Amino acid sequence: MPATYYKRFTSLLYLCTLNQFFLQTAQQNLRLQKIITAVSVFLFLIKITAWYLTRSVAILTDALESIVNVVAGLVGLYSLYISAKPKDYDHPYGHGKAEFLSAAIEGTLISVAGFIIIYEAINNLFHPHTITKLDYGIILVAITAVINYVAGTLCIKTGKKNNSLALTASGKHLQSDTWSTAGIVIGLLLMLVTKIYWLDSAVALLFSAIIIITGYKIVRSSVAGIMDEADEALLKKVVEMLNDNRKQNWVDLHNLRIIKYGATIHLDCHLTVPWYLNVHEAHIEIDSLSALIKKEFGESVELFVHSDGCLDFSCAICVKQDCNVRKHDFEKRIEWTIENISSNIKHSAETV
């Protein structure tokens, strides 16, 4: 009885720790997104001031993108608020998918801003504006580039750490804004030195293409998340780790699937173990597999493993050396790959 109570206590303690981890991660994401939104508003005001002083179409297009930053920041803030909600009856896997919707909206807004920039740049070629106080404009815009880069780097670092697509998308957006702003500053400096004012539109056109491509990539990644598209990079990392740490009782592994729900990674698979292991012994192997994956990916992983007993044809690929009931000679070890580990078929020497 004491052992049973101890096991229940440790399981409850683990669940409490896990819930606390998710809560702290969500709060950290939400807090950072609030800061990013406030920074976006501040930078927008600086760029509008720079445009008012210079009347440069390149600076105006940069300011237009900052409007997108503000809207995207608000959308990202709301999505992180939603995704931070705990699991409930209606959402048994949590609310993490809201981050994919946020990233899709943000990517779309970025692309729209790119096309607006193209329109304004072409219009300026045919109806050029008088540019004034260019030196002041360059200083103000350069300051926003530095702030954007620092904020973007912090977003991406935290987003990757917490598996938050919303934060990662915001960070990439801010960094793309940084590079476009840096390019605009270079173009404005050339214009200041050469007095060739059509460079204003040329610079705007060049960096609008970069902005549109960035928006497309963010939309593409968000759609992949919504559709539960296989993450090959993540699968490859999992497969390599399992091959390197494979145990003798892990005869086969198949039907492995990974789904992302915001900061949570849901992983399930079928593990084939020797048929004569009792329930407790099979569970030890599952616990070992779970501990290995959580050691690599942290507590953000939800793991569900179904155990299968080996069949006669499994002997040919089983590396267990002290098996007293082996019916066939060992032929070859099967290296797990993305293809065969994702299959729902139990492997044998003939099937792989």
When mean pLDDT is compared across 98-102, 179-183, 269-273, 314-318, the lowest value belongs to: 98-102
pLDDT at 272: 92
CATH number of the structural domain 2-226: 1.20.1510.10
In the chain, the percentage of residues whose pLDDT exceeds 70 is: 78
Residue 174 clears pLDDT 60, i.e. is over it = yes
Residue 92 clears pLDDT 70, i.e. is over it = no
Banded pLDDT at 203 (limits 50, 70, 90): confident
| Pairwise CA distance, residues 323 & 301, whole Å | 33
Banded pLDDT at 303 (limits 50, 70, 90): confident
pLDDT at 274: 93
Query: What pLDDT, in 10s, does the model give residues 209-226?
Result: 877 887 888 888 777 777
- Angle of CA points 269, 163, 255, to nearest 5°: 10
When mean pLDDT is compared across 11-20, 193-202, 226-235, the lowest value belongs to: 11-20
| Pairwise CA distance, residues 115 & 211, whole Å | 9
Residue 4 clears pLDDT 60, i.e. is over it = no
The verdict on pTM exceeding 0.85 is: no
Average pLDDT, the chain: 78
Residue 2 clears pLDDT 80, i.e. is over it = no
- Burial zone of 194 (CB within 10 Å; 0-12 exposed, 13-18 middle, 19+ buried): exposed
Comparing CA positions, the residue from 284, 324, 338 lying closest to residue 307 is 284
Query: What pLDDT, in 10s, does the model give residues 128-144?
Result: 777 888 888 899 999 99
Q: In the CATH scheme, what is the homologous superfamily, with its name and number, of domain 232-342?
A: Cation efflux protein, cytoplasmic domain (3.30.70.1350)
Pick from 151-155, 157-161, 247-251, 336-340 the range whose average pLDDT is largest: 247-251
> Cα–chain-centroid distance for residue 280?
37
Residue 338 clears pLDDT 50, i.e. is over it = yes
Banded pLDDT at 273 (limits 50, 70, 90): very high
Which residue type is seen at 147? I
In terms of pLDDT, which residue wins out, 218 or 241?
A: 241
Name the residue ranges covered by the structural domains of the chain: 2-226, 232-342
195 torsion bin: left (phi>0), alpha (psi -120 to 50), beta (else): left
Concatenate the DSSP letters of all residues of 203-245 into one string: HHHHHHHHHHHHHHHHHHHHHHHHTT---HHHHHHHHHHHHHT
In terms of pLDDT, which residue wins out, 19 or 301?
A: 301
Q: What is the mean pLDDT of residues 321-329?
A: 86
pLDDT at 60: 78
When mean pLDDT is compared across 11-15, 77-81, 175-179, the lowest value belongs to: 11-15
What count of other Cβ atoms lies within 10 Å of the Cβ of residue 78?
Answer: 16
Cβ–Cβ under 8 Å, residues 144 and 46: yes
Q: What is the mean pLDDT of residues 245-250?
A: 90
